[in-house]
Amino acid sequence: MEIRQKGCVVTGAGSGIGRGIALALADAGARGVVVADVQLDRAEAVCSELEAKGTMARPFLCDVRRSESVEQLAEMAWRELGHVEILCNNAGVIATGAGFDATDDDLRWQFEVNVYGVFNGCRAFGRRFLASGTKAWICNTASHHAVGTPTKGVATYVATKHAVLGFADAFRLEYGESIGFSVLCPGIINTDLWDAGRNRPAELGSAFEGSDQNHAALEAYGMSPETVGKLVVKGIQTEEFFIWTHPYSMELIEKRYREGRDSIQRQWPDGPLPMHKRTPGKV
Ligand SMILES: NC(=O)c1ccc[n+]([C@@H]2O[C@H](COP(=O)([O-])OP(=O)(O)OC[C@H]3O[C@@H](n4cnc5c(N)ncnc54)[C@H](O)[C@@H]3O)[C@@H](O)[C@H]2O)c1
């Protein structure tokens, strides 16, 4: 999809990958970008960068966990930009630790931001996109964790990212003729994600600082978020469903595919049932 002259909204754009996406959309000729974040000062700083490029930019304090906040974001975006065609549901958080040690609040916080946040964005903007009748695009930030589990200690985060892929998969089947969908599946990116605890609300556990070890890993191995932004723009322009940052993700997909294929072959050695014996409406 062409990005030039389009109205764009990016959540979690005050930092990291979201900022990278916002900058890249501006470079691709976006008409304007709404920079939505729960940290308004950071959103304002990114808007200054966008304006320095000559792109209209508006900061917006938005908590993607709350559907009313995302509705307000959509209203503001249409009011300020005139029209909106591209939404990047990117805000996300992580809490690390052994799987069985996760607290109810760890789970709830990550699901509220990573999953409810993505759903809130898809629903609020998706309804408006359908009503406008013009071509639109939604890019949801998942992770390579959406297609496999490359590391231990992030079980609750992994589950949220599978859900992000699930929504995009289901929505494209339902609405794909009117709205395009992409799923960004980054590998390790050098951002502030390991300090995600800075934004953890008191009612969902207390704020926490990321470990130095995790910081060092991101700095040593992480791709730059500006590069990710360019990959997202290219993915939207070329209308890709999956947008990858690291080719090694192929191993995760192949492992899942092989495991699925081999288990089906073991359990159904005579192959698929003839068509007339399949459940109607099911594959
Ligand atoms: N950094 C990585 O290695 C990596 C890898 C795969 C996927 N991701 C995903 O990329 C996305 C962006 O993360 P990042 O790495 O740039 O981290 P980041 O912490 O630099 O940026 C995340 C942004 O989301 C904002 N945010 C947090 N809670 C919010 C809320 N409730 N409402 C609105 N905004 C909120 C933060 O203020 C921050 O600006 C996330 O969805 C993350 O899961 C990151």
- Residue-wise pLDDT for 129-141, tens only, equals 999 999 999 999 9
Nearest CA to ligand 1 atom 30: 63
Best probe residue, ligand 1, of 15, 41, 139, 246 (max atoms within 8 Å of C-beta): 15
Rg for the chain, CA atoms, rounded: 19
Residue 86's DSSP bridge partners are: 8, 137
pLDDT greater than 80 at residue 282: no
Mean pLDDT of 199-227: 88
Atom number, ligand 1, closest to the C-alpha of residue 113: 31
CA distance 151 to 82: 43
Atom number, ligand 1, closest to the C-alpha of residue 114: 41
% of the chain beyond a pLDDT of 90 = 88
CA distance 182 to 8: 15
CA distance 155 to 277: 38
State phi, psi for 270 to the nearest 5 degrees: -85, 5
What is the predicted pLDDT for the residue at 191? 96
DSSP letters, 245-275, are S-TTHHHHHHHHHHHHHHHHHHH-TT-SPPG
* C-alpha of residue 268 to centroid of ligand 1, in Å: 42
How would residue 219 be classed by pLDDT, with cut points 50, 70 and 90?
confident
What is the predicted pLDDT for the residue at 212? 81
pLDDT greater than 80 at residue 156: yes
Structure tokens at 116: 């409810």
Contact 155, 104 (CB under 8 A): no
* C-alpha of residue 114 to centroid of ligand 1, in Å: 9
Structure tokens at 132: 């406008």
Q: How many CB atoms lie within 10 A of CB 72?
A: 16
Q: Is the CB of 64 under 6 A from ligand 1?
A: yes
Atom number, ligand 1, closest to the C-alpha of residue 184: 7
Between residues 63 and 215, which one has the greater pLDDT?
A: 63
Nearest CA to ligand 1 atom 8: 143
Best probe residue, ligand 1, of 9, 35, 37, 215 (max atoms within 8 Å of C-beta): 37
Instruction: Give the torsion sign (CA, 86, 186, 214, 160).
Output: positive
What is the predicted pLDDT for the residue at 150? 86
Mean pLDDT of 99-118: 98
Look over the chain and give the mean of its residue pLDDT values, rounded to a whole number.
95
Mean pLDDT of 149-167: 96
CA distance 66 to 11: 13
* Lowest-confidence pick of 168-172, 198-202, 266-270, 274-278: 274-278
Q: Could you give the 3-state DSSP secondary structure of residue 59?
A: strand
CA distance 245 to 174: 27
How would residue 193 be classed by pLDDT, with cut points 50, 70 and 90?
very high
Q: Is the CB of 85 under 6 A from ligand 1?
A: no
* C-alpha of residue 7 to centroid of ligand 1, in Å: 22
What is the predicted pLDDT for the residue at 172? 97
Q: 112-136 b/e with 16+ CB inside 10 Å = b?
A: bbbbbbbbbbbbbbbebbeeeeeeb
Atom number, ligand 1, closest to the C-alpha of residue 188: 3
State phi, psi for 35 to the nearest 5 degrees: -100, 100
What is the predicted pLDDT for the residue at 218? 84
CATH topology of domain 7-248: Rossmann fold (3.40.50)
Residue 183's DSSP bridge partners are: 140, 242
Which helix (H) or strand (E) covers residue 166, if one does?
helix 155-175
Q: Is the CB of 113 under 6 A from ligand 1?
A: yes
Catalytic residues: 157
CA distance 60 to 44: 8
Q: Is the CB of 55 under 6 A from ligand 1?
A: no
* Cα 196 off chain centre by: 15
What are the domain boundaries of the chain?
7-248
Atom number, ligand 1, closest to the C-alpha of residue 198: 37
Predicted model pTM = 0.96
What is the predicted pLDDT for the residue at 275? 63
